[in-house]
C-alpha cells in the first residue's frame, strides 16, 4: 500500500479517501501500475491525452526543446515555439480570433478571459463587472472561474458567498429560455456571457446544438455583450471537429487548455479577437492588460503543443474521432434498456450513460477490476478515450461500462460528484 501522508489530493475527503493507485508508466492508451497491472485509460487523463501517452513525435519535440531552452521568462523576451504556436492557433481558429495570451492552466485561462472582458469595457469608458453564465456550466476552480460555474455542479458549496458578480441562465434551447436570456442580458453592467460550446463537461457531459450557440451569439450581439467560449475541454477534436465553436457563433474571447499540448505539459491560451485586442492599445499605459504568469508560454509546453498540432495535420485524428463516435453509439446503446438508465448519448469521442441517481462514483472500483480506468461522477458513467484507441480496446471499455451499469442497480448513492 502506498503511503500518501504528505499529499493533499484533489476533490477528495482525505479522512475517508481510498488509496490512489500508483502509476509507474504509460504508453498508447495504457497506464501501467506499480504492481504490474495495466489499465486502459478511458478518459484520457482528464480529457488531455488525445494522441495517447508517449507519442514519439511529441516526445522528440519536447526532448529537443529541453536541450535548447527549457524555460525563459516571457516579458521582454520571446521565443520561436510561442510565436509559431500563436500563429498556428490564430490560423486554425474560426473568425477573427487572432491574439493569443498564454498561461499554464485552464482555470487561469478563464481568469484571464474574465479580466479581459471587464477591462475591455473599462478601457472604453464603461463600468461592466457582471457575467452571465449557464446552468450546468463548469469553468474551473479558481475564484473567478468558480464564480461562473453553476453552483449546482457541487464544486464550491463551501465558497458560495465568495464570487465575482454573476447571473445564471438556462441554455437558450427554446423560445422561453431565449426570452429569459434576453431579459438577463438587458440588465446594466454585464461584461460578457461565458459558455462551453456543444458539451458542458464537468457539469455532467450535457450536449447542446450549434443553434443554441447561435442564439447566445445573437443575444450577446443584440445587447452589446462580449461572448466567451470555454473550449478547454472541447478544443482539439473532442467533439468531432477541431474546435466546437461553429463558424456562426465565433466568440470574442476563447479559452483553450486540456488537449493543447496533447496532454504532455501544462499550457493554456486565451485568444481574443482583433476588436477586443484593439481596446487595450492606446496612448494610455493603464489600458494595458496587467497579467503575466511566471511560466507563461513555457517553451517545452509550446514545443509539445506545436508537435500536437503537427499530429492533427499528419495523422487522421478527426476521422478516428468519427469512428469512435459511431462505435460508442453502437456499443453503448444496449445500456438504454437497463434499469436505472435514463439516457445514452455520444458526440465525437465522448460517450455517456446517464443514471437516474448520483451513484456513479461508487462504481469506480468495479472498472479497475475490469482493467479499465474510468472516473464516473454524479449521475453519469462516461468515456472520453484517446483518439488513437483501436476498436478492440474501445470495445473493452464499452463492455465494461455496460456490465458495470447493469450490475449497479444495488449500488448505494455516493457523495462524490466531481470528475
Ligand atoms: C478542466 C476545465 C477547466 C479548468 O482547467 P484546469 O486546467 O483544471 O484549471 C475549465 N473549463 C473547462 C470547460 C474545463 O473542462
The best mutation among 139, 208, 231, 265 to test binding of ligand 1, ranked by most ligand atoms within 8 Å of the C-beta, falls on 139
- In contact, 122 and 343? CB cutoff 8 Å: no
Decide whether any atom of ligand 1 lies within 6 Å of the 379 Cβ: no
Catalytic residues: 11, 138, 230, 258
Nearest to 32 by CA among 373, 389, 399: 373
- pLDDT for position 168: 94
End-to-end CA, the chain: 24
Quote the CA–CA distance of 230 and 102 in Å, as a whole number.
15
Using the 8-state DSSP alphabet, how is residue 288 labeled?
S
d(CA 182, CA 190): 12
Burial of 333: CB neighbours in 10 Å, binned 0-12, 13-18, 19+: middle
Q: What is the pLDDT of residue 1?
A: 58
Residue nearest ligand 1's atom 6 by CA: 106
What pLDDT shows up at residue 413? 67
Burial of 318 (0-12, 13-18, 19+ CB in 10 A): middle
- The pLDDT value given to residue 111: 98
Choice from 146, 202, 255 to test ligand 1 binding pocket (greatest atom count within 8 A of CB) = 202
Per the CB < 8 A criterion, the answer to whether 225 and 193 are in contact is yes
Q: Is 200 in the pocket of ligand 1 (CB under 6 A)?
A: no
CA 21, CA 149: separation in Å to the nearest integer?
A: 29
Q: How far is Cα 248 from Cα 209, in angstroms, rounded to an integer?
A: 12
As a whole number of angstroms, the distance between CA 148 and CA 155 comes to: 11
Answer whether 201 contacts ligand 1 (Cβ < 6 A). Answer: yes
- Residue 189's SS3 state is coil
The answer to whether 380 touches 153, Cβ cutoff 8 Å, is: no
Q: Tell me which DSSP letter residue 109 carries.
A: H
Question: What whole-number distance in Å separates Cα of residue 59 and Cα of residue 52?
Answer: 12
Q: Is the CB of 42 under 6 A from ligand 1?
A: no
pLDDT tens digit at each of 419 positions of the chain? 577 889 999 998 899 888 899 999 999 999 999 999 999 999 999 999 999 999 999 999 999 999 999 999 999 999 999 999 999 999 999 999 999 999 999 999 999 999 999 999 999 999 999 999 999 999 999 999 999 999 988 777 778 777 888 899 999 999 999 999 999 999 999 999 999 999 999 999 999 999 999 999 999 999 999 999 999 999 999 999 999 999 999 999 999 999 999 999 999 999 999 999 999 999 999 999 999 999 999 999 999 999 999 999 999 999 999 999 999 999 999 999 999 999 999 999 999 999 999 987 889 999 999 999 999 999 999 999 999 999 999 999 999 999 999 998 777 666 667 78
Amino acid at each position: 500500500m502506498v503511503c500518501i501522508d504528505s499529499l493533499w489530493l484533489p476533490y477528495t475527503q482525505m479522512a475517508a479517501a481510498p488509496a490512489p493507485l500508483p502509476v509507474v508508466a504509460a504508453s498508447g492508451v495504457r497506464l501501467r501500475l506499480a504492481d504490474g497491472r495495466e489499465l486502459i485509460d478511458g478518459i484520457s487523463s482528464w480529457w488531455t491525452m488525445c494522441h495517447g501517452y508517449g507519442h514519439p513525435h511529441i516526445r522528440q519535440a519536447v526532448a529537443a526543446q529541453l536541450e535548447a531552452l527549457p524555460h525563459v521568462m516571457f516579458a521582454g523576451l520571446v521565443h520561436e515555439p510561442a510565436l509559431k504556436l500563436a500563429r498556428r492557433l490564430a490560423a486554425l481558429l474560426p473568425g477573427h480570433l487572432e491574439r493569443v495570451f498564454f498561461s499554464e492552466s485552464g482555470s487561469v485561462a478563464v481568469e484571464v478571459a474574465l479580466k479581459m472582458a471587464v477591462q475591455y469595457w473599462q478601457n472604453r469608458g464603461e463600468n461592466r463587472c457582471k457575467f452571465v453564465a449557464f446552468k450546468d456550466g463548469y469553468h474551473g476552480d479558481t475564484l473567478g472561474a468558480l464564480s461562473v460555474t453553476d453552483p449546482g455542479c457541487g464544486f464550491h458549496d463551501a465558497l458560495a458567498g465568495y464570487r465575482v458578480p454573476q447571473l445564471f441562465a438556462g441554455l437558450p434551447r427554446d423560445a422561453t429560455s431565449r426570452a429569459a436570456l434576453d431579459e438577463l442580458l438587458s440588465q446594466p453592467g454585464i461584461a460578457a456571457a461565458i459558455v462551453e460550446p456543444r458539451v458542458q463537461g464537468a457539469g455532467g457531459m450535457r450536449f447542446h446544438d450549434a443553434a443554441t450557440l447561435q442564439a447566445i451569439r445573437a443575444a450577446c450581439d443584440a445587447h452589446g455583450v462580449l461572448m466567451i467560449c470555454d473550449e478547454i475541454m472541447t478544443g482539439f477534436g473532442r467533439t468531432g471537429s477541431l474546435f466546437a465553436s461553429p463558424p456562426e457563433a465565433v466568440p470574442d474571447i476563447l479559452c483553450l487548455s486540456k488537449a493543447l499540448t496533447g496532454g504532455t505539459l501544462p499550457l493554456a491560451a486565451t485568444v481574443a479577437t482583433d476588436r477586443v485586442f484593439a481596446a487595450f492599445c492606446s496612448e494610455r499605459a493603464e489600458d494595458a492588460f496587467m497579467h503575466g504568469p511566471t511560466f507563461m508560454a513555457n517553451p517545452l509546453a509550446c514545443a509539445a503543443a506545436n508537435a500536437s498540432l503537427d499530429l492533427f495535420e499528419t495523422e487522421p485524428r478527426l476521422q478516428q474521432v468519427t469512428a469512435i463516435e459511431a462505435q460508442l453509439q453502437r456499443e453503448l446503446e444496449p445500456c438504454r434498456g437497463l434499469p436505472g438508465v435514463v439516457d445514452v448519448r455520444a458526440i465525437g469521442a465522448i460517450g455517456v450513460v446517464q443514471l437516474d441517481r448520483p451513484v456513479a462514483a461508487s462504481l469506480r472500483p468495479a472498472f479497475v477490476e475490469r482493467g479499465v480506468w474510468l472516473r464516473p461522477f454524479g449521475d453519469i458513467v462516461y468515456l472520453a478515450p484517446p483518439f488513437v484507441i483501436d476498436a478492440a480496446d474501445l470495445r473493452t471499455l464499452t463492455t465494461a461500462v455496460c456490465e458495470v451499469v447493469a450490475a449497479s442497480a444495488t449500488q448505494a448513492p455516493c457523495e462524490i460528484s466531481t470528475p
